[in-house]
A and B are shown apart, each in its own frame.
Chain A
C-alpha cells in the first residue's frame, strides 16, 4: 500500500474536506500534481465535478442499460479486480462466458447439436464484435479468391446508409470499401432489392441491421436472404449475410419468435448483439456468434491451452474486466426466457403509451414502427417556427436528454427526435415526459408570439429545405435574446454536424 509522507501542515487531515486547502486550489488539468492529496479529498473533488454530468437514467438517447438489480451490482463489484483474460487463473469466469455464448447461440437458432459447443465470443461491445465478424468474412473471401486465382485487394461490404458508425470504422481501418444503399424519405432502412443489386464479386458480405439506430426498425432479413440466394445461384459468388442485431438480438426472440432473421436463414453466417443494450447489462459487453466452425477461419484464432482443453480466443482486446460477463450470465439465468419476454413487453407497452401521448398533441408525426426496437422517433409536422433541435434543448432544462438528429442521405432534410425505452423507463416517467414535452411546446409557442425568432431560423439551413416565409424582419432584440439566439444557432449547427454518435 502507499506509504504516504506526512504533509507539512500536520493539522491538514482534521479539516473537513470542503474547507481543506485542496478544494481551494484548482485541479490540475495538463500535468500530474507533484504531491499526493488525501483520498477523501480526491474522492470528493472528483465526485463533485461529476455531478455536472447528465443523469444516466434520464439519458433517453442511449440504448445502453443504466440500471441493474443490487444483487448484480454486488457481483460486479466483487469481480472488478478480475482480469478476464487470465483464463488459467479464473476458469469459472471463463466457463460463464462459454455458457453465455451457447445460450445466445441457441437463442439465435444456431444449427448446433444438443451438446455441441457454439462458436462465438464475448467482446467489449458490438464494435469489436462487428470487427471480428468482418475480419472473418474478409479472410474467407480472400482465401476463396486466392484459390480462384483472382485479385483480392478490393473487398467491399454492402449495407444501408443507416448503419451505425462502427461499420464505417471497420471499413476505414480494415481497408474494406463500404457500399451504402441510400435511404429515401419514408423508407429509413436498407432496401433488400437495392442491396442485392449492389453485390458484386468483391462483396465479402451483406450486412443487415435488426433494429436500426435511427428509428428502431427491423430490416427484412428474410427477403434479403431470398434475393441473395437467387443471385448467388446465378453468379456462384456465394455472398453471405451478417446480421447486426446489436439492439434487436435480445428483442426479436422474445417478442417476435416467428420472425425469421437469424440462423434459420441459411445465408446468415454470423450475428452480433450488444449485451449492454437489451441484454440488460451495463456498458462494456457484446457478443458475436458464428453459424459454425467453418465460418470462422482458423488462422484468425489464437489457441490458448488451459486445464488440458483448448480455449480458442479471437478478440481485439486482451485484458479487460470480468464484471460484465458475469452480469450477463446473471441476467440470463435470473430472468430466463420468460423474464426477458416480460421486460420487453413492458418496454413495448411504455413505448406505446409515449407514442400515443405524443400523437395526441397533434404536432408530431411518428416515424418509428410498432414492430422493432421499443423506441419512439417523431418529427414536427410544422418546423417553420421552431425545430426539433430546439425542443431537444429545452427538454434538457427539465433534466431529460432527448437527442435530435437528421437522417443520413438521401433523407437529410428530415430531422427527428428519438426516445429510447429501456427497462428502467417506467410508465410514470413516460407520462411525465409527455407533459414536459407539452410544456416545452407551449413555452416556445408563447415565446414566438412575443418576439420574432425567425431570423435565427433562417440562418440554420442544415435541416429544412422548405423555408418559404422568408422571415428576415429585423426586430429590436434584448442582449439576452441575442445571446439565446446565438447559442441556439450554434447548437443547432453543431448538432447538425454530429454523426450518428449514439449506439
Chain B
C-alpha cells in the first residue's frame, strides 16, 4: 500500500476536509501535482466537481441503463478488480459469458441443436460488436472474391442514413465504403426496396436496424430478406444481412415475438445487441451473435487454450472489467423471460402516458411509432416562434435532459425532441415531465418573438424572414447571443451522438 509521507504541516489531516489547504488551492489541470494529498481530500474534491455533471437518471437522451438492483450493485462492486481476459484465472466468469451468449442466441432463434454451443461474444458495447460483425463479413467477402479471382479492394456496406455513428466509424477505420439509403420526410428508416437496389457485387452486407436511434422504429427486416433473396437468386452474389438490434434486440422478443427479424430469416448472418440498453445493465456491455460457425471466418479467431478446453476469442478489447458480464447474467436469470416482458410492457405503458400527455397539449406532432423502442419523438406543430432546441434548453432548468436534433439527409428540415423511456422512468416521472413541458411552452409563449427571429435568421433553415429591428437591453442581447450560439452549436452537433 502507499506509504505517504507526512505532510509538512503535521496536523493537516485533523482539519476538516473543507477547511483544509487542499481545497483552497486550485486543482491541477495540465500536469501531475508534485505531492500527494490525503485520500479524503482527493475524494471530496472530485466528488464535489462531479456534482455539476447531469443526473444520469434524468438523462432522457440515453438508452443506456442507469439503475440496477442493489443486489446487482454488490456483485458489480465485488467483481470490479477482476480482469475479464484472465480466463484461466477466472473460469466461472468466463463461463457466465458463455452462458449469456447461448441464452441470447436462443432468444434470437439461432439455428442451434439442443446442446450445441452458440457462436458469439461479449463486447464493450455495440460499437465493438458491429466492428467484429463487419470484419467477419469483410473477410468472408474477400475470401469469396479471391476464390473467384475478382478484385476485393472496394468493399461496401448498404445501410440507411439513420445509422448510428459507429457504422460510420467502422466504415472509416476498416476502409469500407458506406452506401447510405437517404431518408425522406415521413419515412425515417431505411427503405428495403431502395436498399436492395443499391446492392452491388462489392457489397459485403446490408445492415438493417431494429430500433432506429432517431425515432425508435423497427426496420422491416423480413421485407429486406425477401427482396434480397430474390436479388441473390438473380445475381448469385449471396449478399447477407446484419441486424443492428442494439436497442431492439431485448425488446422485440418480449413484446413482438411474432415479428420475424432475427435468425428465422435465412439471410440474417449476425446480430448485435447492447446489453447496456434494454439488456438492463450499466454502460459497458454488448453482444454479437453469429448464425453458425461458418459465418465467422476461422482466421479472425484467436485461440486460447484453458483448462483443456478451447476458448476462441474474437474481440478488439483485451483487458476489461468483468462486472458488466456478471451483471448481464444476473439480469437474465433474475428476470427470466417473464421479467423482461413485464419491464418492456411497463416501458411501453409509460411511453403511451407521455405520448398522450404531449398530444393533449395540442402543440406537438408525434414522430415515433407505437411499435418499436419505447420512446417518444415529437416535434412542434408550429416552430416559427420557438423551435425544439429552445424547448430542450428550457427543460434543462427543470433538471430534465431532453435532446433535440435534426434528421439526417434528406429530411434535415425536420427537428425533433426525443425522450427515451427506460426501466427507471416511472409513470409519475412521465406525468411530471408533461407538466414541465407545458410550463416551458407557456414561458416560451410569453418571450418576445424577436429573439426567435434572430435565431431563425441566422439558422436560415426553418423560418420565414422576420427582420424587425427592436431596441434590446444588454441582458436580452446576451441571452440572444447565447441562444444563437447554442443553437448553432447544437445543429452542428453530430446528430447520432447518443447511443
By the criterion CB–CB under 8 Å, are B283 and A81 in contact?
yes
Closest beta carbon of chain B to A199's beta carbon, Å: 24
Contact across chains for B71 and A42 when beta carbons are under 8 A apart = yes
Task: Give, as a whole number of angstroms, the nearest-CB distance from A97 to chain B.
Answer: 12
Q: Is A448 an interface position by the 8 A CB rule? A: no
Residue in contact with B282 in the complex, picked from A29, A80, A124, A127, CB distance below 8 Å: A80
Instruction: Answer whether residue B292 sits at the interface, using C-beta atoms and an 8 A cutoff.
Output: no
Across-interface contacts of A169 in B (CB, < 8 A)? 302, 316, 318
A371 interfacial by beta-carbon distance below 8 Å: no
The stretch of A32-40, A233-241, A379-387 in contact with B is A32-40
Tell whether, in the assembled complex, residue A32 and residue B336 are in contact, meaning their CB atoms are under 8 Å apart. yes
B56 contact set on A, CB distance < 8 A: 81-83, 89-90
A1-60 residues with Cβ-Cβ distance < 8 A to B are 1-5, 27-37, 39-40, 42-43, 45-47, 49-50, 52-54, 56-57, 59
Cβ contacts under 8 Å, B365 to chain A:
none
Which residues of chain B from 299 to 340 have any CB-CB distance to chain A below 8 Å in the complex? 299-300, 302-308, 316-322, 324, 326, 329-330, 332-340
Among candidates B45, B91, B103, residue contacting A30 with C-beta atoms closer than 8 Å: B103
Q: Across the two chains, which residue of chain A brings its CB closest to B336? A: A33
What are the residues of chain A within 8 A of B414 when measuring CB–CB? none
Least Cβ distance of A499 to chain B in Å? 6
Residue on A nearest B31 in the bound complex, by CB: A106
Task: Report if B212 contacts A (CB, 8 A).
Answer: no
CB contacts (< 8 Å) of A319 on chain B: these are 64, 125-127, 274, 276, 283-284, 499
Most buried by A among B30, B115, B302, B324: B30
Bound CA–CA A33/B32 (angstroms): 51
Check A59–B32 contact: CB distance below 8 A: no
Is B282 a contact partner of A2 (Cβ separation < 8 A)?
Answer: no
Question: Do B35 and A103 have beta carbons less than 8 Å apart?
Answer: no
Could you tell me the distance between the alpha carbons of A33 and B56 in the complex, rounded to whole angstroms? 30
State which size class the interface on B falls in: 35 or more
Q: Is A361 interfacial (CB-CB < 8 Å)?
A: no
CA distance A29 to B114 in the complex (A): 11
Known A90-B54, A283-B82, A494-B305; contact A80-B337, beta-carbon cutoff 8 A: no
Say how far A27's CB is from chain B's closest CB, in angstroms.
7
Establish whether residues A65 and B57, one from each chain, have CB atoms under 8 Å apart when the complex forms. no
What's the Cα separation between A99 and B61 when bound, in Å? 26
Whether the pair A299, B46 counts as a contact (CB closer than 8 A) is: no
Q: How far is the CA of A4 from the CA of B492 in the complex (A)?
A: 44
- Complex Cα distance, B78 from A59, in Å, reads 16
Instruction: Name the interface size band of chain A.
Output: 35 or more
- Chain B 39-65 near chain A by CB (<8 Å), digits 1 or 0: 110110111011011101101011011
Closest A residue, CB atoms, query B493: A305
User: Which of A73, A90, A321 is the one whose CB lies under 8 Å from B77?
Assistant: A73
What is the distance, in angstroms, from A33's C-beta to the closest C-beta of chain B? 4
Q: Is there contact, CB below 8 Å, between A62 and B50?
A: no
Distance from B427 Cβ to chain A, minimum over Cβ atoms (Å): 11
Min CB gap B461→A, angstroms = 17
**Does A446 make an interface contact (CB < 8 A)?**
no
Contact string against B for A residues 101-127, beta-carbon threshold 8 Å, 1 for contact and 0 otherwise: 011001100000011000000001111
**Cβ-defined contact, B401 with A490, below 8 A:** no
- Do residues A330 and B320 form an inter-chain contact, with CB atoms below 8 A? no
Is there contact, CB below 8 Å, between A37 and B80? no
Instruction: Give the CA-CA distance A91 to B30 in the complex, in Å.
Output: 17
Known: A75-B47, A299-B172. A336 touches B125 (CB 8 A): no
Known A114-B30, A308-B486; 15 more pairs at CB < 8 Å: A30-B114, A37-B336, A42-B334, A46-B333, A67-B81, A90-B53, A91-B52, A92-B49, A103-B30, A124-B124, A320-B283, A342-B5, A426-B1, A494-B307, A499-B302
**Interface residue ranges, A against B (CB under 8 Å):** 1-5, 27-37, 39-40, 42-43, 45-47, 49-50, 52-54, 56-57, 59, 61-62, 64-69, 71-93, 96, 99, 102-103, 106-107, 114-115, 124-128, 131, 135, 153, 165-166, 168-169, 172-174, 274, 276, 282-284, 299-300, 302-308, 316-322, 324, 326, 329-330, 332-340, 342-343, 346, 401, 403, 423-424, 426, 490-491, 494-495, 497-499, 501-503
Residues of chain B touching chain A, judged by Cβ–Cβ distance below 8 Å, are 1-5, 27-37, 39-40, 42-43, 45-47, 49-50, 52-54, 56-57, 59, 61-62, 64-69, 71-93, 96, 99, 102-103, 106-107, 114-115, 124-128, 131, 135, 153, 165-166, 168-169, 172-174, 274, 276, 282-284, 299-300, 302-308, 316-322, 324, 326, 329-330, 332-340, 342-343, 346, 401, 403, 423-424, 426, 485-486, 489-490, 492-494, 497-499
Instruction: Give 3 closest A-B pairs by Cβ, nearest first.
Output: A36-B339, A334-B42, A42-B334
13 A/B residue pairs, CB under 8 Å, sorted by A: A29-B102, A30-B114, A32-B333, A36-B335, A43-B75, A64-B83, A82-B53, A172-B300, A316-B127, A317-B125, A326-B46, A332-B32, A338-B34
